[in-house]
Amino acid sequence: MKGKLYGIGVGPGDPELLTLKAKRIIEEADVVAVPVKKPGELSVALEIAKQSAVIPEEKIREIEFTMNKDKAKREACRKKAAGEVMDLLEEGKTIAMLTLGDIGIYSTYAYVHKIIVKAGYDVEMISGIPSFCAGASKANISLTEGNEGLGVIPSLRGIDQVEKALDVFDNLVIMKVGNHVEEVYELLESKGLAENGIVVSNVGMEDEYVGPLLPEREYGYFTTIIVKKEL
Amino acid sequence: MKGKLYGIGVGPGDPELLTLKAKRIIEEADVVAVPVKKPGELSVALEIAKQSAVIPEEKIREIEFTMNKDKAKREACRKKAAGEVMDLLEEGKTIAMLTLGDIGIYSTYAYVHKIIVKAGYDVEMISGIPSFCAGASKANISLTEGNEGLGVIPSLRGIDQVEKALDVFDNLVIMKVGNHVEEVYELLESKGLAENGIVVSNVGMEDEYVGPLLPEREYGYFTTIIVKKEL
């Protein structure tokens, strides 16, 4: 009998935000597949899962997803990754592939999911807590209430797209802000929303910051800005 | 010493989608507060939590949130609810207040959260799996990949708002579609997206439906449509 692949979201960082289902399936799986950029590299998703689930070293299997700038190389690497997973499925293995946050939101897993579904294997996605939900909870605010809308957009998409999204939605999560903070601040200021940005940055790290958007401050890579027109 | 209030998202329905943290805090709490529309009414959030966490009957405390059409009556009821919670906090109780899905997305809890935070009490929000994440997992699709954006909007907001959101985002979750299915279908058709709507309806119930948007079909109240411009 062929195996089954579970794509599993382990949540944004706090090991206790793993779901009961994620913990059970990870512990029951024959193989815990871990996406890495390079072999031997530390996987944050695995480090999180290990703190709440029992994962023997011999079950862990690294799967490489290169971040090479060459699109063809990235695609080839994804095909190879899917092939490795399908080989394990042919052997009848149950595989739990881990991803940070939710399994359906900007996950590396998505790149192999489609290929493996198309090939006809048994696949199930297990949701995890998205980083922006945990970020809002950390900031003690709701993302959306009543009949309000919510937008989620990476700042890499371009500031004009962020502006369009801001015009449509009462609440906007701008992800991966990194070095676009100043641009975002200027946009908010131009809309009279300079005081409506809440920053959630490097949660759980030494330089964690959760508070109002201050343009003169430096923020880390894992920076999310939540804009709420009504605070 | 004063008590502490935890707002807890119990996820969208599957009791195994409770987080380890939600389970622990619910079990440790002195009081499990359950929002209800009327005293004695069944609480779906409580029914979910009970299947994964041990909750003795004597810990359960109903908190009424009326759905009365009169805004003043709703507001008065929310103030009374916050007052009841604050009385318990004054007694030094640890309170876990439950909500379906995530604690920061369309949650009843939000109505008392602000009042109680403003009054200076110790409050913490614990994220849960949002229904739209679980819906996408159920449909075996990603919500958003690469640099794509994601919009979430209740159809009650009006079809013109849904259209605006659709113009800005590659992926759109239309929540609480209920009897607006036809309108949404017509909108998608006019944009050449008739085949890009995926319905997730009444998950876990007898008439569960997960599949393409068929306009001639009847859908239940808990219907979400996920539109993906690129399937």
Which of A10-19, A88-97, A100-109, B195-204 has the weakest average pLDDT?
Answer: B195-204
The per-residue pLDDT for B174 is 96
In tens, the pLDDT along A20-61 reads 999 999 999 999 999 999 999 999 999 999 999 999 999 999
Q: Please state the rounded mean pLDDT for residues A69-80.
A: 96
The per-residue pLDDT for A222 is 81
Among A15, A104, A161, the residue with its CB nearest the CB of B149 is A161
The per-residue pLDDT for A178 is 82
Report CB contact under 8 Å: B143, A105. yes
Q: Give the model's confidence band at A6: pLDDT under 50 very low, under 70 low, under 90 confident, else very high.
A: very high
Determine the residue of chain A that is closest to B140 in CA distance.
A125
Distance to chain B for A216, nearest Cα, Å: 27
The per-residue pLDDT for A203 is 82
Q: Is the dihedral of CA A162, A165, A171, A176 positive or negative?
A: negative
Using a pLDDT cut of 90, give the percent of chain B over it.
87
Report CB contact under 8 Å: B129, A128. yes
Q: Write the secondary structure of chain B as one string of H (helix), E (strand) and C (coil).
A: CCCEEEEEECECCCHHHCEHHHHHHHHHCCEEEEEECCCCCCCHHHHHHHHHCCCCHHHEEEEECCCCCCHHHHHHHHHHHHHHHHHHHHCCCEEEEEECECCCECCCCHHHHHHHHHCCCEEEEECCCCHHHHHHHHCCCCCECCCCCEEEEEHHHCHHHHHHHHHHCCEEEEECCHHHHHHHHHHHHHCCCHHHEEEEECCCCCCCEEEECCCCCCCCCCEEEEEECCC
A149 interaction partners in chain B (CB closer than 8 Å): 151-154, 157, 161, 165
The per-residue pLDDT for B95 is 98
| pLDDT at position B204 over 80 | no
Determine the residue of chain A that is closest to B164 in CA distance.
A168
Report CB contact under 8 Å: B20, A18. yes
Pick from B179, B176, B212, B206: nearest CA to B194:
B212
Q: Give the model's confidence band at B171: pLDDT under 50 very low, under 70 low, under 90 confident, else very high.
A: very high
| pLDDT at position A155 over 90 | no
Q: Give the model's confidence band at B221: pLDDT under 50 very low, under 70 low, under 90 confident, else very high.
A: confident
| pLDDT at position A12 over 90 | yes
The per-residue pLDDT for B33 is 98
The per-residue pLDDT for B167 is 94
Q: Please state the rounded mean pLDDT for residues B147-152.
A: 95
Using a pLDDT cut of 90, give the percent of chain A over it.
87
The per-residue pLDDT for A229 is 95
Q: Write the secondary structure of chain A as one string of H (helix), E (strand) and C (coil).
A: CCCEEEEEECECCCHHHCEHHHHHHHHHCCEEEEEECCCCCCCHHHHHHHHHCCCCHHHEEEEECCCCCCHHHHHHHHHHHHHHHHHHHHCCCEEEEEECECCCECCCCHHHHHHHHHCCCEEEEECCCCHHHHHHHHCCCCCECCCCCEEEEEHHHCHHHHHHHHHHCCEEEEECCHHHHHHHHHHHHHCCCCCCEEEEECCCCCCCEEEECCCCCCCCCCEEEEEECCC
Report CB contact under 8 Å: B169, A151. yes
Determine the residue of chain A that is closest to B126 in CA distance.
A137
Distance to chain A for B57, nearest Cα, Å: 23
Q: Please state the rounded mean pLDDT for residues B9-21.
A: 96
Q: Please state the rounded mean pLDDT for residues A79-92.
A: 98
Report CB contact under 8 Å: B19, A19. yes
Q: Give the model's confidence band at A221: pLDDT under 50 very low, under 70 low, under 90 confident, else very high.
A: confident
Report CB contact under 8 Å: A20, B21. no
The per-residue pLDDT for B207 is 82
How far is B42 from B32, CA to CA, in rounded Å?
A: 14
Determine the residue of chain B that is closest to A152 in CA distance.
B150
Among A16, A149, A151, the residue with its CB nearest the CB of B19 is A16
Answer whether A94's CB lies under 8 Å from A4's CB: yes
Among B125, B133, B168, the residue with its CB nearest the CB of A164 is B168
Q: Give the model's confidence band at B47: pLDDT under 50 very low, under 70 low, under 90 confident, else very high.
A: very high
How far is B7 from B123, CA to CA, in rounded Å?
A: 8
Looking at every residue in chain A, the average pLDDT score rounds to 94
The per-residue pLDDT for B52 is 97
Q: Please state the rounded mean pLDDT for residues B19-34.
A: 98
Q: Give the model's confidence band at A207: pLDDT under 50 very low, under 70 low, under 90 confident, else very high.
A: confident
The per-residue pLDDT for B5 is 98
Q: Please state the rounded mean pLDDT for residues B9-36.
A: 97
In tens, the pLDDT along B52-67 reads 999 999 999 999 999 9
